[in-house]
Structures are given as structure tokens and as C-alpha cells.
Chains A and B, each alone.
Chain A
Amino acid sequence: MTVKNRHIIPTFLFSFIFCFGSVLPTIQAGEDLSLKERLYDDWGVEFGGFFDVRAGFMLQNDVDEKDLSLGETRMQLELGRDFGDAIMNFKTDLLADGVTEEVLLDIRELNLAFFPADSLDIKVGRQVLTWGTGDMIFINDMFPKDWQSFFIGREDNYLKSPSNAVKASFFLPGIDLDLAYIPLFEGSEYVSGERLSYYNPMVGRIVGRDMIFEDEEKNRYFSEAELAARISKNIDGVELALYGYSGFWQEPEGIDPLNGLAVYPRLNVWGASARSTVLGGIGNMEFGYYDSTGDEDGRNPFVRPSEYRFLAGFEHELGHELTGAFQYYLEVIDQYENYLSTVPTGTVARDEYRHLLTLRLTKLMMDQNLILSLFTYYSPSDNDGYVRSRVTYKVNDHLKLDGGLNYFWGEEEYTFWGRFEQNSNAYLGIHYSF
């Protein structure tokens, strides 16, 4: 799973591009007309990118994982060409990952956006897709995430993984319709034990590299496809939306009883959301029904049962350059009695209701060049949580330094955040954009 969609390329190529890339800023600084401007003037190509170096370590290590949680150099290059009636975009990362000891080429975007009619926009190719109203909580956004990047202190942008998709947006009178078709399901990057540890209920303990989670990758185009739809409307600043999704659980939430392999069961999601200014802040609500079609009304022990999911949030300015945001999230297992009957003796059953609260505090200082950010997940029902704190300082228009802490805790090892409790880490990063 970890090298999915990425191609390992020879190290010499990396070194070459890296050296080439590192010369770019010097060229820019040295001449009146930078390479960037010449590319645009001569070829109409927009060019940009960054270098990012970061390192992090585990705050505890009682499991089979490296002490290094993060140690990598990344270069991103972005090229764009505007044809007037169409826009082409290419964005790729070259990553030398010291933890997995790999060099990876990760294409983040390679797409063509075009506008065949006044009421129709189409984007074809590799692209990041996002919708929904939650802040770091996703109900109707069924597009792939990279939780591992999120947990180890990469930039927030890496929480979203790109999809190979066709997105068509219809702008009908008074209503917008978005359709995203992903011909082959890819799923989210989850914690598999390879880099971060997790609680494995089969063995009843937290495991790491000694028990890397294996799953069954999808490979049949069109039959293992995803379709996501959104109908949205903005009524005088109140944003309303209905959602539908047909595809799979984004993480392997099932087990094939024949070979014991982790699988991605079928899933349909139906939902709705609303977002608006309210009481001097921003309020949002979102709902979704996760119809796990293979769960046999909760009686199938090999598939995660269907669920209702609900979210309500409110964001408000608390002071000068200080913003606070609060969310309440609820997960309810559908047909709980049936689910209970499938839980083997000796295994702890999930609660029918899982409550989760989040709190975000963001403070800007020093002309907005110093950013202090805190994001906390806390579940009163599981008594577990996850704290993300980060300090970012923009040294100048190109250089940015950041450092942060990811802290997981749980009363029990088997709960949602508790299963990651051996992964708390701290990190530092340097980011140079050009």
C-alpha cells in the first residue's frame, strides 16, 4: 500500500533533478528575467515548486518501529499551461524517504480542465478532489486521504491523496451538480505497521513491522470503480448540498473469510450538509449514512457494519488574529444488536455510539509570519484522543520553518486513537518555495 501509485526511480535521476532544481533559485536571484519568467514569456508555461526537508522522531518506542518517524527530502515541481479554453496542470513530487529507504516519484496532478459549454466544466486526469464541510473530519468526502502523512508531520496538503478521475460539473439554473468518476478504486493510505504501529485485534496487542497489514489491492478497471456526486446550492450565503457515493470503504474494513486477507468492502454513502455564517462565525452541519452493502444488516462478521455519521461545527474569532473552532461528531452503528451477535467472545465490541469532539485554535503573530496552531481530537466515549500542534515561521517570502508534535493517547489500546498510542512523535521542517 505504501508505494501505491508511485514509481521507484533510480537514485541518480533523483540526484540529477535535485541538483538542477537547487540551481533554479540562484538563477532567479541572479538575473533580471528569471527562468520562471522566461518559461512563461517564451512558452506560456507557469512554473513553480518547492524543496522540503523534514525530520521527526518517535517520542516512545516499545514496538517494532524505527525511532525515526520522518526523515525525508522532497522536491515538488509544478508546470501549468493555459490554453484559454483549457488549462493543463502537472505537479509532481520527488521524495527521498529515509525511513522507508526509498526514492519515489509521486504524481500529485496531471490533468486537463476544459469548459465545453457555458454550464459545464470538466477536469480529466490525476487530481485532488475535496468537498464537504468538516474540518479534518470527513463524512461525504470519500476521496482518498493519506492519514500516515497526516500523523507524521508532513504538510497538511498531504492529507489528501490524488485520484485518477473524471470530474464533470454542471451549472444548471439555481443548482450545481458535480460528478466524479474514478475508474479504479485506490483507497486511502492508512497505518499498516510498516511505518506506524497499530492495535491488531487478531493478536490483541499493538504491532509494527512485525505484522505489516496486507490488503487486497483492486485492479479491475471500471468494475472496481467509484462514483461520487454532489448537488449544491447557495441560498443567500447558506450553502446546501446533497451527496451520494458508490464505491468502497476507504480503508480495508473487511476480511476475506477464505484467505484471511484484508479487503475493501462495498460501500454506498448518502448525505447532506449545510454551511453558513451564524452568530458572527461559521456554522456547519453534515450528515451521512454509510450503507455497507455486504454487512447483511450487521450480521456479517467479516464486514464493517453500516453507520450513521453526524457532524456539527462552529468557528469564531476569539480575539485579535485568534480563531477557535469546535466540532462535535457522532458515529452510530446501524442494527447494533445484529452487530453485537457477530462479535466473537473475548473480543471487545465497538460502542453503539462513538462521540468525538475537536477543537482548533489558530493564532497569528508577527505580521502573520508566526502561526501557532493546535488541533485536538477527543472522544469522551472512547476516552482517547489525538493532539496536533504546530509552529510555523515564515522567514521570508520563500523560506518557512515549522515544528510540531503529534500526540496520541487512549485509555485502551483498541480504541480509534488508542490503537496509535505508540506513534506519538515530534518533527521539524524546512520549506523553500520558488
Chain B
Amino acid sequence: MHRIFTPWLIMAGFILLSSPAFANTPTAEEIINKANLAAYYGGEDGRSEVSMVITDGQGRTRNREFVILRKDKTDGGPQLFYVYFQKPSDVRKMVFLVHKYLDRDDDRWLYLPALDLVKRIAASDKRTSFVGSNFFYEDVSGRGVEEDTHELLETTESHFVIKNTPKDPDGVEFSSYTVWIDTKNYLPLKAEYLDKNGKKYRQVEALTVEDIDGYPTVTKSQVSDLESGSVTVSEFKKVRYDIGLDEKIFTERYLRRPPREVRR
């Protein structure tokens, strides 16, 4: 019996693998990897001026303004971030420096100019608020693609819909999140987070996408906390890619002496 069936199975498998439809549909992992590159690794480096408006559940607003510089060590790999604060006035000239790694905790420093103090910050929890906004550290610098399992739920003409389930559920506050990714440029356009009870409680959306230096770029995004009713809208202005940032900018020297690239 075996002798009869085996060739058939091999042949069937061969046909399946070589069929054009199968080859052209990327796997969930491939889509997520491409989305990660599209969202966080545009160009070799980049610069952007960010203004955030945080509106709490009672409608009170707070503003944050900062310049962010990014340099990739390798595409999809370690990155360097330099964040220079301009507003509010009590954090003016503060600098936040991050050396992001994939295989270990990031290195983070905060420079407090009034004390001339270079403070090192513990960085184990990446799902805490970034500067009091609804954005988490992870939303700013990206979540490691290896930290979740990915499942392609649906492919429409415009979107890949992927469900992401954390491999370490105790390390995060969500049970899963679903991302809508643009099928053309692979930018993640929406993410919905479910809490441990399976209830949707958090949403991240790209509000505006523009083509800048050939890179599709989210220039306005919004994070909503559906439980507290608070919302943060971020606008990214004067975005530029491949400006030739020197790696030495991302060192202690430039905490004490902000580089030209962040001084207006």
C-alpha cells in the first residue's frame, strides 16, 4: 500500500508548493518582518520633530515637543535613538538616549541639564508610558518581532490582518493584538489590543501617511486608551531620512552638548 501512495503524495506536495498562488502569499512572519522594517527602519537613519497632544479622560490637554534622531546599526537589528526635549518648559534640553538591542535589555540614559547629570535608567519594562503619553516605549522604538507568535487572519485587497500573541503573556498587559498592515507598502496602519479578558482596550492608528524621500511615513498617529478615554495624537514634522548621522552623536558626549541636528 505504501508503495502506491507515496509517489502520489510527493507529487501532490510538489504541485502545491509550485503553484503561483501559494508562492505569492507571504507568511505572517514575512509580513510582520516587512512591517517592522517599514515602520521603524526607514533609511539608514532619520530625523523628525514630534509634537504630542495628550488629552486625558476629562478633556485636559498636555503638550510634548521633542526632536528624535535614529540610526540603524543593521536593518531589523540594533538601533540608536536620541530624543531632545523642547516642551514642556520644565523638561527643556533634557535628552533621552537609547541603545536598542534585540537580544538583551536596551541601554537607556537620561541627561538632566540643570544638574549636568547623566542618569542611567532601568529598562526592563518597555510597556510603560513614554513621557506621560498613551504611547509606550515600545510604540516609539518597536516591539521585537520574536516576542510574539503571528497568525495571518485575513488578506484583503488593502490589508493583511495579523493576530499577534505574546510568547510570554505574563510580561505584558495584553492577551493579544491584531494589526492591519498595508499590502502595498507594509506600513502597520492600525493595531487593536485585547486585555486578559479578551476585551478591546487600546488602539493605535496611523492617521496620515506621506511619502518622504521615497519612504512611506506615518506623519500623524493616535493612541487611544479606551478604558480611561485618554488619547494622544503625535505629529511628525520635518521628517528626513538618510541624513548621514554620525554614530558618535549617540554617546555621552552629545548628551552634554546637543548636536547641531537637534538644535533647530
Q: Are A130 and B89 in contact (CB under 8 A)?
A: no
Q: Majority SS of interface residues in chain B?
A: loop
Q: Are B120 and A367 in contact (CB under 8 A)?
A: no
Inter-chain contacts of A367 with B (CB < 8 A): 54, 56, 129, 132-133, 230
Q: Are A237 and B99 in contact (CB under 8 A)?
A: yes
Q: Is B62 an interface residue when CB atoms closer than 8 A count as contact?
A: yes
Stretch at the interface among B38-46, B109-117, B149-157: B109-117
Q: Is B260 an interface residue when CB atoms closer than 8 A count as contact?
A: yes
| Among B92, B120, B248, contact of A282 (Cβ-Cβ < 8 Å) | B120
Q: Is B60 an interface residue when CB atoms closer than 8 A count as contact?
A: yes
Q: Are A127 and B253 in contact (CB under 8 A)?
A: no
Contact A320-B125, Cβ < 8 Å, known A84-B260, A171-B253, A367-B56: yes
| Among A156, A171, A315, A398, contact of B89 (Cβ-Cβ < 8 Å) | A398
| Among A121, A157, A316, A434, contact of B122 (Cβ-Cβ < 8 Å) | A316
Cα distance, A177 to B192, chains bound together (Å): 49
Q: Are A176 and B253 in contact (CB under 8 A)?
A: yes
Inter-chain contacts of B251 with A (CB < 8 A): 234
Within 8 A of B (CB), among A126-144: 127-131
Name the residue of chain B whose CB is nearest to the CB of A36: B89
Within 8 A of A (CB), among B77-120: 87-90, 92, 99, 104-105, 107, 112, 114-118, 120
Inter-chain contacts of A284 with B (CB < 8 A): 120
Name the residue of chain B whose CB is nearest to the CB of A284: B120
| Among A82, A160, A171, A320, contact of B263 (Cβ-Cβ < 8 Å) | A82
Q: Is B261 an interface residue when CB atoms closer than 8 A count as contact?
A: no
Q: Is A90 an interface residue when CB atoms closer than 8 A count as contact?
A: no
Q: Are B88 and A433 in contact (CB under 8 A)?
A: yes
Inter-chain contacts of A340 with B (CB < 8 A): none
Stretch at the interface among A98-106, A273-281, A382-390: A273-281
Name the residue of chain A whose CB is nearest to the CB of B64: A397
Contact A237-B107, Cβ < 8 Å, known A317-B125, A367-B230: yes
Q: Are A160 and B90 in contact (CB under 8 A)?
A: no
Shortest C-beta distance, A341 to chain B (Å), equals 41
Q: Are B90 and A368 in contact (CB under 8 A)?
A: no
Within 8 A of A (CB), among B27-73: 54, 56, 60, 62-63
Inter-chain contacts of B118 with A (CB < 8 A): 130-131
Shortest C-beta distance, A106 to chain B (Å), equals 13
Name the residue of chain A whose CB is nearest to the CB of B54: A367
Q: Is B124 an interface residue when CB atoms closer than 8 A count as contact?
A: yes
Q: Are A397 and B253 in contact (CB under 8 A)?
A: no
Q: Are A397 and B257 in contact (CB under 8 A)?
A: no
Inter-chain contacts of B63 with A (CB < 8 A): 397
Inter-chain contacts of B257 with A (CB < 8 A): 87, 113, 115, 121
Q: Is A256 an interface residue when CB atoms closer than 8 A count as contact?
A: no
Q: Are A320 and B128 in contact (CB under 8 A)?
A: yes
Contact A275-B120, Cβ < 8 Å, known A115-B257, A169-B253, A433-B90: yes
Contact A315-B253, Cβ < 8 Å, known A82-B263, A398-B88, A400-B90: no
Cα distance, A169 to B104, chains bound together (Å): 31
Interface residues on A, range: 35 or more
Shortest C-beta distance, A321 to chain B (Å), equals 6
Q: Are B123 and A277 in contact (CB under 8 A)?
A: yes
Cα distance, A343 to B192, chains bound together (Å): 72
| Among B122, B128, B264, contact of A315 (Cβ-Cβ < 8 Å) | B122
Inter-chain contacts of A433 with B (CB < 8 A): 88-90
| Among A176, A234, A316, contact of B124 (Cβ-Cβ < 8 Å) | A316
Q: Are A159 and B120 in contact (CB under 8 A)?
A: no
Q: Is B75 an interface residue when CB atoms closer than 8 A count as contact?
A: no
Within 8 A of B (CB), among A146-172: 156-157, 159-160, 169, 171
Inter-chain contacts of B116 with A (CB < 8 A): 127-130, 160
Within 8 A of A (CB), among B2-20: none
Cα distance, A156 to B122, chains bound together (Å): 20
Name the residue of chain A whose CB is nearest to the CB of B57: A367
| Among B92, B123, B230, B260, contact of A48 (Cβ-Cβ < 8 Å) | B92
Contact A317-B124, Cβ < 8 Å, known A157-B114, A367-B132, A397-B63: yes
Shortest C-beta distance, B135 to chain A (Å), equals 12
| Among B60, B115, B131, B260, contact of A396 (Cβ-Cβ < 8 Å) | B60
Inter-chain contacts of B115 with A (CB < 8 A): 128, 130, 156-157, 159-160
Q: Mark A389-407, 1 if CB is under 8 A from B, else 0.
A: 0000000111010000000
Q: Are B122 and A368 in contact (CB under 8 A)?
A: no
Inter-chain contacts of A234 with B (CB < 8 A): 251-252
Cα distance, A70 to B89, chains bound together (Å): 25
Cα distance, A48 to B264, chains bound together (Å): 16
Q: Is A369 an interface residue when CB atoms closer than 8 A count as contact?
A: yes
Shortest C-beta distance, B178 to chain A (Å), equals 24
Inter-chain contacts of A130 with B (CB < 8 A): 115-118
Cα distance, A115 to B263, chains bound together (Å): 15
Inter-chain contacts of A321 with B (CB < 8 A): 128-129
Name the residue of chain A whose CB is nearest to the CB of B125: A317
Name the residue of chain A whose CB is nearest to the CB of B87: A397
Inter-chain contacts of B89 with A (CB < 8 A): 48, 50, 397-398, 433-434
Cα distance, A367 to B57, chains bound together (Å): 11
Inter-chain contacts of A156 with B (CB < 8 A): 115
Q: Footprint of A on B, CB under 8 Å?
A: 54, 56, 60, 62-63, 87-90, 92, 99, 104-105, 107, 112, 114-118, 120-125, 128-129, 131-133, 230, 248, 251-253, 256-257, 260, 263-264
Given A237-B107, A367-B129, A367-B133; 15 other pairs, CB 8 A cutoff: A50-B89, A82-B263, A121-B257, A130-B118, A160-B115, A169-B253, A169-B256, A171-B248, A176-B252, A237-B99, A277-B120, A280-B124, A281-B122, A396-B62, A433-B90
Enumerate the 8 nearest inter-chain pairs by beta-carbon distance, A residue then B residue, closest first. A368-B132, A397-B88, A157-B114, A130-B116, A280-B124, A433-B89, A433-B90, A237-B107
| Interchain Cβ contacts under 8 Å between A and B, 30 examples | A48-B89, A50-B90, A82-B263, A84-B260, A121-B253, A121-B257, A130-B115, A130-B116, A156-B115, A157-B115, A159-B115, A169-B253, A169-B256, A176-B252, A237-B107, A239-B252, A277-B107, A280-B124, A317-B122, A320-B128, A367-B133, A369-B132, A396-B62, A397-B62, A397-B63, A397-B87, A398-B88, A398-B89, A431-B90, A433-B88
